[in-house]
Structure 1
Amino acid sequence: MTGLLSDPWFYAAAIPAVILVGLSKGGFGGAVGFVGVPLMALAMPPVQAAAILLPILCLMDIVSVWTWWGVYDRKMLVDMMPGAVMGIGLGWLTAALVTEEMVRLIVGAVALIFVLRWLYLQFRHGADHAAAPNRVAAAFWGPVAGFTSFVAHVGGPPFQVYALPIRLDPKVLSGTSAIFFAATNALKLVPYFALGQFDTTNLT
C-alpha cells in the first residue's frame, strides 16, 4: 500500500474521480459522482478507494448540511434512516468476508445497474401525480441506499427512487438528501476504521 503514493495510475484515477464527485455534490454534475469508486478501483482495491473518498465526502457533507440547514422532511428521514443503518451493516459484513475480486464485482454491478436505470429513465415518461410516502417502500430502499453507499458511495440513486416520486419541494428534497447522506457517511467512518482503512497511506 505504501507504493500507492508513487503510482501515477493512482493519480490518473483519483484526481478525476474526486473532481467528478465534487461536481456531483455541488449539483453541477448530476449523477456523475457514482463513477468515483469504480474509476479509482481500476488502480486499487475498491474498499481502499471508497475509504480514501469517504473523509472527502464528509467534508462536502458539512457544506451541504450548512447550505440547506433547517430545510428537510422529517418523516422521510425517520422512515429511511433505520434501513440505511442496516444496509451499512450489510456492506460492512460484505467487505469483511468476501474477496477483493467479489467486492470489485459488486461495485461494477452497482455502477452498471444505475447506468442502465439512467438510460431507461431517459425514454420513460413519469407519472403526472405525486406518490404518497410509503413506509414499506422506504424500508426497502433505505437498506439499498445504505448498502450501495457503503460499497461504492452511490446511495443517491436508490434514495431518489423512493424520494423523487413523492415530489417534495426541491429545496426540501435537497435538504433531506443532505442530512441523509451526511448521517450515513458519518456512520460509515466506524466500519471503515474497523476494516483498517484509515491508515497513514489512505489518509495521506
Structure 2
Amino acid sequence: MLGFDLGFWILAILAVWVTGVSKSGFAGGVGVIAVPLLALYIDPRQAAAIMLPLLVLMDAVSMKAWWGKLNLTQYRRLIGPACIGIAIGYFTFDLLNADLIKIVLGVLSIVFCLWGFASNLQLGETKTGNPWIARLCGTITGFTSFLAHAGGPPLNLYLLPLRLPRPEYLATVIFTIATVNLVKLVPYAMLGQLNGDNLLISLILMPVAWLGAKYGIRLQAVISDQWFYRIIYSALGLIGAKLLLDTLF
C-alpha cells in the first residue's frame, strides 16, 4: 500500500478536486490533468486505477445535475466508437510501460494545452456534425480515456463546433464520459488495476471527489469558462513539459 506521504496526498487532493469541478461544471475537458499530475509521483497506471472509482462517483453527481439535457443523436454516434477505443487500450496495455505512458501523457498534456487555447478561435458551425468525424473522435476518446482518463479533449474537438446550447453540450459530454468510465471498470478489473490498495486510496479521496463535483455545478454558473480554462490548461502544459523532461532527460 502506498504510504501516507504528504507530497502524494497534496497532489492527489488537488488532482481530484480540479477533476471534480471540471467534470460537473466545465464539460470535463480539464479533468485530463489528474493522471499527469499524479504521474509526477507514482506510476501512471496506478494513478489511472485510483482515479477511476472517483470518476464514477463524480459522474453520478454530474448526471443528476444535467439529467434530461442529453443530445441523444450525438451520444449514440460517439459511444460505440468509444468502446472500440477502450478495447484498443485494453489489448495494448501490456505494451505500454510506465516511461512510455509518461511520454504519451506529456505529449497529450501539451497538445491538449495548446488545443485549449486554440479552441477560443472560431471552429465553424454545423447543426448535426459529420458522422465519420464523430466515429474518429469517439474512438480516440475511448483510447485516451482508457490510458489516462483523458477522453474529454478529443470528445470536445467534435462537439464544440456543433454550437449546441450550453446545457445540452455539457450533458452530452458528461453522459458520454460517464458511460465510458462505467465500461472501463471491466477491463481495469481484468487487468488487476482495481486492487485493494488502489481502492482504499480511492475510498479515502471520495469526499474530495464528491465536494469537487458539487462545487463545480455551482461554480460554472458564476465564473467565466474562458478564465477557468486558461488557468487549468496553462498548468496542464507545465505538467506535460515536466513529465517529458523527467522521462527523456
Fold similarity call, TM over 0.5: yes
Answer yes or no: is 1:170 the counterpart of 2:166: yes
Percent sequence identity over matched residues?
39
Q: Equivalent residue for 1:80?
A: 78
**Cα gap change, 1:113/1:98 in structure 2, threshold over 3 Å: closer, same or farther?**
same
Tell me the SS of whatever aligns to 2:119: helix
Tell me the SS of whatever aligns to 1:165: helix
Per-residue CA shift, 1:111-149, capped at 9, x if unaligned? 111011123334x3443x335321111111001111111
Q: Is the 8 A contact 1:24 1:33 kept in 2?
A: yes
* Alpha-carbon distance between aligned partners in 2 of 1:121 and 1:176, rounded to the nearest angstrom: 18
Structure 1 unaligned residues grouped into runs of 5+ = none
Answer yes or no: is 1:24 the counterpart of 2:28: no
Q: Is the 8 A contact 2:27 2:174 kept in 1?
A: no
Answer yes or no: is 1:186 the counterpart of 2:182: yes
Pick which of 91-100 and 139-148 moved more.
91-100
**Cα gap change, 1:184/1:158 in structure 2, threshold over 3 Å: closer, same or farther?**
same
Pick which of 23-32 and 88-97 moved more.
23-32
Tell me the SS of whatever aligns to 2:25: coil
**Cα gap change, 1:30/1:202 in structure 2, threshold over 3 Å: closer, same or farther?**
closer
Q: Equivalent residue for 1:150?
A: 146
Q: Equivalent residue for 2:133?
A: 137
Q: Which has the higher contact order (CA 8 A, sep 6+)?
A: 2
* Alpha-carbon distance between aligned partners in 1 of 2:23 and 2:43, rounded to the nearest angstrom: 23
Corresponding pairs, count: 200
- Post-superposition shift, 1:30? 7.1
Q: Equivalent residue for 1:51?
A: 49
Q: Is the 8 A contact 2:133 2:158 kept in 1?
A: yes
Q: Is the 8 A contact 2:66 2:170 kept in 1?
A: yes
Q: Is the 8 A contact 2:81 2:136 kept in 1?
A: yes
* Alpha-carbon distance between aligned partners in 2 of 1:78 and 1:106, rounded to the nearest angstrom: 28
Say what the alpha-carbon RMSD is for the aligned residues.
1.8
* Alpha-carbon distance between aligned partners in 1 of 2:64 and 2:154, rounded to the nearest angstrom: 24
Structure 2 unaligned residues grouped into runs of 5+ = 201-249
* Alpha-carbon distance between aligned partners in 2 of 1:110 and 1:90, rounded to the nearest angstrom: 17
- Post-superposition shift, 1:23? 1.6
Tell me the SS of whatever aligns to 1:6: coil
**Cα gap change, 1:119/1:167 in structure 2, threshold over 3 Å: closer, same or farther?**
closer
Per-residue CA shift, 1:47-98, capped at 9, x if unaligned? 1101101101101111111222222111111111111001111122232222
Which amino acid in structure 2 is aligned with residue 158 of structure 1? P
* Alpha-carbon distance between aligned partners in 1 of 2:92 and 2:6, rounded to the nearest angstrom: 29
* Alpha-carbon distance between aligned partners in 1 of 2:135 and 2:128, rounded to the nearest angstrom: 14
- Post-superposition shift, 1:5? 2.6
